Every structure is written in C-alpha cells, then in structure tokens.
Amino acid sequence: MTRFAAPIAEQIWDMKYRLKDAAGSALDGTIEDTWRRIARSLAANEAEPAAWEDRFYEALEDFRFLPAGRIVAGAGTGRTVTLFNCFVMGTIPDSLEGIFQGLKEAALTMQQGGGIGYDFSTIRPKGADVKGVAADASGPLSFMDVWDAMCRTIMSAGARRGAMMATMRCDHPDIEAFIAAKSDASRLRNFNVSVLVTDAFMDAVKADGPWDLVFDGKVYRTTQARDLWNRIMRATYDYAEPGVIFIDRINAMNNLAYAETIAATNPCGEQPLPPYGACLLGSINLARLVRDPFGEGAALDEDELADLVATAVRMMDNVVDASRFPLPQQAEEARNKRRIGLGVTGLADALLMVGARYGSDEAAALTERWLHAIARASYLASTDLAAEKGAFPLFDAEAYLDSGSLKTMDEDVRAAIREKGIRNALLTSIAPTGTISLLAGNVSSGIEPVFAFVYTRKVLQRDGSRTEEEVVDYAVQMWRDLKGEAPLPEHFVNAQTLSPSDHVRMQAAAQKWVDSSISKTINCPEDISFEAFKDVYMLAWDTGCKGCTTYRPNAVTGSVLSVEEEQPKTPEVVSASLAEPPVPHGDVIYITEPLNRPAALEGNTYKLKWPDSEHAIYITINDIVHAGRRQPFEVFINSKNMEHFAWTVALTRMISAVFRRGGDVSFVVEELKAVFDPRGGAWMNGKYVPSILAAIGGVIERHMISIGFIAGEGLGLKSDPKAQVVNLTAGRGPACPNCGQYGMQMIEGCMTCPSCGHSKCG
C-alpha cells in the first residue's frame, strides 16, 4: 500500500524532495526512506539519537508533521545547503559602500536559494544632497533596481529561485514612488513590496489628518494621510501590490522587543525578522488529526495534537544546529535567539470534517481554540527543552514575560517560563504550504480555504504525451470514500464563495495565538468596489491582524481559477476552469499559441564585430505582420568562430521561440543587455557594452526601433500604460514558468501552480 493519498503527492515527492545522486538515480527508495533520512539527521545531536530518531519518524509518518521543503529536501543529504527558507538581511547603510556590501550579502544568500527581505527606508530619498561629491541622491528605488538585476542574474545562473521582499516606511519621502513602482510590469519583477504602516499613520488616516514625510529628522513635505492611504489602496486594487504591514503592532507584540527592532519580513510576510534573521518553518497537518470525520463525534484529537507539537518543536530546534548558513551573521542571529515558526496546514479541511463552515463564527472559534492549543504546547515544550539544554542565549525572563505576546499567555505557561527559561524566543508562524500540502495528499493550504474541490491536471509522460488526471481536495476525497455519491453538505465552501470579511475573520482568529505572523491571501471579487476594497484593510487593522494581502483578479493581475458545478453525481463538487478571456484591446497582445510561419518573411541582417575577436557575428532578424503591426518573428545568429557555435545556436532557438509567441517581446532586449561578462566588456560606438550577449541585445533593440515595434532605446511597449494584456487561449489560467501547465492560482500571497507546486516565492 502506498502512503500517498493522491498521484500528485508521489510526483511532487519524486520531483522535489526525493534524494537522488548526481546521475539522477534515486537514493530514497520510498517516502519512508525520506522520513527516516530526516529523522536520523535531526536526532544526531540528541543524547539518545536512536530513541529520538524513532520519535521523529513517528511525527513525520503519514504526513502528520510537515517540515518546510528545504528541510525535507536537504536534511541528511550531506550537502552544503541551508535548511532555512528565508532571511531578512542586515540594515542597509546610507552610503554607496554600505549599499553594495548589502548587495553582495544578498547575492551570497540567494546563491544558496534563500529568499530575502530588505527595508529600503534607510536610504536617503531621491534628490537629497550627497555630501562631499556635489551630487543628488538617486533614491532607494534606483538601488532596488540594482537588487532586482542581481536576483535575475543569480536565477539565470541556475540557482533555485529565491524571492525578495522590499519594505518602506509610510513616512519616507519616496513612499509615493515606492507605492507606484509595481504599476510598471517590467520593473522590480523579482520583488514583493509592502508598506510599513505605523499606528500614528492609521490614526491620521482615520482622523483625515496631515502626514509628514521625513528622512533623518528633516521634513521633506507634508501630505494628507488619507490621500496617501488611498494611493496605497488604489495601487493594490489595480496591481495586487503593495501589501500592508502593521509594523508598530509587530514590534509591540514581539517577544524580543527588548533585544531587536523589526523593519522587514521574509518574502511571504509570515516571518517579521530583525537584521540577519532567518525563518525556520514547519506545519502540523490538522487534516490528519480529526477523529470520526463527518461523523456525529467528529473532533480534532487535541491530546495527539499536543504530543505532536512537542515533538515538532524539538525537531525544529535541532534544525537550528544542523543547518548551514550563507553568512556568519545569520548563523549567529539564529543561534542567539533560536526562533522557529511552527504553523498548520489543512485547517480548512479539518473544519469541513468537523462540520464547520470556513469563515463562520463557529469556524473562527475553532481556529482560535486549536491555535491556542498549539501555542500552549509549543511554549511548554520549549520550556522543557530549556531545562534540558538551556534557554536561548539572549533570554531575559522579566523582559521576555513583559512583551506584548506573553502578557496574554496562560499563567501556567508564564510560570514555566519563569522557572525553567525557554529554548526558543518565538515559536509559531503560519507559512505558505503549497507544495508540502500537495505532498500530503492535496490538503488545504495553511489556513486558506479550499480553493477548488476538484481540478484536472495534465501530466507529461515520458514519451512526450500528456494525460489528464483528477486532483481532488483531501477532505472531498475522504467524503467520497465514506459517503459515496452523496451530495456535499452546505458547509462545504471554497475561496470563490467566501466574502473578504470571512477571510479577515479567520486571519484575525489565528493571529491571536501566533507570535510571528501569517501568510494569507484575502481573495476579493473582481467587481468589488474600491470603497469596499479599502474596508477590507481597515477591518484587518481593526481586528488585530499584523498585515494584509489581497488579490483581486483583473486584466493586469491575471485571472484566477473560477469554479463551475460538476454534473451530475455531486453537484456541489466544483472543478477548476478559467474564466472567459477579456475582449482584446490595446496594442500589446500576448498569444499563448505560436504564430504560423508564412513561406516568406522580410528581414534584415546585421554584422556585429566584437573587439579582439577574429570573426564577426551575423544576426538576421525576420519580421511578421500580425494584427496590422510589424513585429519580430525569428532570429538567426551565425559566426565562423566555433567557440561561439553552441551558444549562438541556443540563442537562435530560444529567442525565436519567444518571438513566435507574439506579444511584447521587448523584454528579450532587457534581459540580454543585462548580461555581464566577468572577463570584461568593450567600448563600442562610444558606449560601454558589458558582454557579447549585451551587444546582441543592442542589435535586436535597434531593429525593433527601426520597424516601429518600440519607440526608442529602453522604451519597450512593456512600459506603455495603455497596454493591455490579453490571453487569447480560452479555458486556461496563467502558465506556470516551471512546468508550462496553465492554471496558476494566487495562494498565500504567491502565484502557485496546482500541477507541480511551483511558487513565485520559491
């Protein structure tokens, strides 16, 4: 009997987590081997490794405890990898030397695949004086562009994708430019962005009062707080960013407020972290802990929950010592505070099994009860660990117990901390769990509602063909197994049928007992009014949330999966399909099926002579006229230099493949011109060109200008505010950049593929 509840689970394991050698041969024969590898690795530092290995294995068995993907993929492999998912980098000094030292540290961290967060509020605003050089500052956004290019370069070198989060305070003089930055679809593509909103700002918004924009004690200008709030809301309404982080609330509730100040989060927002802080994540699978599901006595086994949490805390504490870190500052920070982020997944499925409608008062009360139980068990387990192994090095009993989070903790837990100390400074967080939830049999992700009860997934076979398989939500499959073809009860709801206030109610209920934060997307209907949309954020503020992330599908952000009823067996079961495509308009059309090649095409051939190279490169670009507009269709790159043969053929094929998809392909120029040769570039026609590839990009750009496809150098259609993105292929959602399947969904703040688990945030 397989341990996998669904075919997709085994495919995810084999693709992402199964240990294989350099040749691709499997070293983990079964999922049990993977569990054993993790358990053995995390028990190695225990006084009785064999006994704890068995305990850890039991926690992992049947996907009851789900360590984060980096732990599953890396623990016990002997490879030089970090087991931490994301980092907040050091404070950026307001100097050129300090900024680029920060860039170096970011590159080293991302090279190992870690996502990073940065606060750019410390960089002086655009136009400010730069003393000693008689110049004006270029501002934080210009340096964010540098970070973005670095991330793109690291990714192009083949490293695992690591997303970035950029934050900026709501009183920074460049905050308005920061808010609008993501309205340009070509800019900051590797960043999530969030505004650090203070208590004083929210008070000013409610009072419609003035708001000073300040840097280094100097007031640059004054605006109305409500006007600035409306700017944030309008950008988020139109472009899904920036997010909002209630930073004063985060610092006030931080267990370590006496030892650190937080100004940034990891890319998905569930871990507010200090400089060089790292997030270590794992989730309790609540869907596996419900007894008598759908029966009269259906309930979560809270005794088993407490035991499982205690074991999970010990495992995660051991990860702190087992992991490697990209930077020594990150290792020191992790070991001084030993913070972990234990969360949950499968909450919505567990609620379905016990008969509670997600978003209802009953569901919110159950969520608060279960998260309270997890918090109690976590803190008590950590006090026992402190008695056995010692408290975290920066522990100060009185200061710790006086923090905002601990003031509301149960008195017996406070007494245990006072008596024994505590091993881990912070213990709970609710992270994105998209891939590990698929691994566990497609349980609902994190504390999100079920997105779609059933959807169809296309699977690429070894012979190149594709087959279709049904992917069913874990709770729905359990209902089918127990009840056959009986219709689903009324409390079976999904993300499409919930109001935004239902989402906020659940986030607020969970936040009461989560000492870090929560990754959660509040899905809003496309036709929600702007005023109602703003009310969602104000409700999140009023109900005690630490941040708010929404997603409203539109022509800019892209469609999400919609639902339609399945006929005739179980009318309430929904399947995933794409909403009707918008009517084509505007100048830019993205065509998801390749254009057909006519028998003859018009084009031009360009000669490129790279300095110090014996042979020239010849670049032929042929065009097609489509929808009344001339656009590049294919490229041929040739050279007599055999050293260039492989990469010129590769460029010919790849660029032509992009061109034949149509749409605004001017980004090809941007990508090529950003390539730097470590051996040095060359001066050509009075300009420094960083590489041969950049020179080729310049040739393609000049051709695009000559045929009228773009207006000028650096002026691709990608920046045209009138451009509209149109998907001409019906019945599909956005394509996954990893597996190519259509149907990307916005889950927990990240565009996520239901087919392979790929996430924008890594």
pLDDT of residue 689: 84
Q: Count the Cβ atoms, other than its own, within 10 Å of residue 141.
A: 20
Which tokens sit at 530?
Answer: 């702007």
Amino acid letter for position 720: D
600 CB burial (10 A radius; 0-12, 13-18, 19+): exposed
**Among 534, 533, 545, 532, which Cα is nearest to 504's?**
545
What gap in Å lies between CA 248 and CA 590, rounded to an integer?
42
pLDDT of residue 742: 55
What gap in Å lies between CA 649 and CA 672, rounded to an integer?
15
Q: Is the peptide bond before 568 cis (omega within 30 degrees of 0)?
A: yes
All structural domains of the chain with their residue ranges: 13-83+275-420, 91-252, 602-719
Whether residue 607 contacts residue 624, with contact meaning beta carbons closer than 8 Å, is answered with no
Which tokens sit at 42?
Answer: 């995390």
What gap in Å lies between CA 520 and CA 247, rounded to an integer?
17
What gap in Å lies between CA 130 and CA 139, rounded to an integer?
11
pLDDT of residue 611: 78
490 CB burial (10 A radius; 0-12, 13-18, 19+): exposed
What gap in Å lies between CA 409 and CA 757, rounded to an integer?
36
Sheet strands side by side (includes 617-626)? 602-608, 617-626, 629-639
Angle at 514 between CA 195 and CA 229, to 5 degrees: 20
Torsion of CA 751, 755, 757, 758, to 10 degrees: -60
Strand 522-523 versus strand 218-224 pairing type: unpaired
Q: What are phi and psi of 316, to 5 degrees?
A: -70, -35
What gap in Å lies between CA 476 and CA 482, rounded to an integer?
10
pLDDT of residue 87: 92
Q: Count the Cβ atoms, other than its own, within 10 Å of residue 650.
A: 11
What's the distance, CA 141 to chain centroid? Answer: 21
What gap in Å lies between CA 201 and CA 428, rounded to an integer?
28
Considering the entire predicted model, what is its pTM?
0.77
Sheet strands side by side (includes 466-472)? 466-472, 454-460, 574-578, 561-565
Catalytic positions are 266, 268, 270
DSSP 397-408: HHHHHTSTTGGG
User: Where would I find the H helices in 624-747?
Assistant: 645-659, 667-673, 692-706
Q: Which helix (H) or strand (E) holds 551?
A: strand 550-551
Mean pLDDT by 10 residues, the chain (762 residues): 82 91 91 97 95 97 95 91 89 92 89 86 93 82 89 57 86 97 84 96 98 97 98 94 96 96 93 93 97 96 98 97 92 96 97 97 98 98 98 97 94 98 97 90 94 78 66 94 93 91 97 95 92 97 96 68 37 34 36 64 88 82 80 88 79 86 78 76 78 89 88 57 34 53 62 66 56
Enter the DSSP assignment of 518. B
Which tokens sit at 464?
Answer: 């190149």
Which sign does the torsion angle of CA 408, 409, 410, 414 carry? negative
Q: Is the peptide bond before 274 cis (omega within 30 degrees of 0)?
A: no
What gap in Å lies between CA 106 and CA 98, rounded to an integer?
12
Torsion of CA 64, 65, 68, 71, to 10 degrees: -110
Amino acid letter for position 652: T
Q: What are phi and psi of 297, to 5 degrees?
A: -100, 20
361-389 helix and 302-322 helix, angle to the nearest 10 degrees: 50
Return the bridge partners of 315, or none: none
Q: Can you tell me which residue has the tokens 């690591």? A: 162
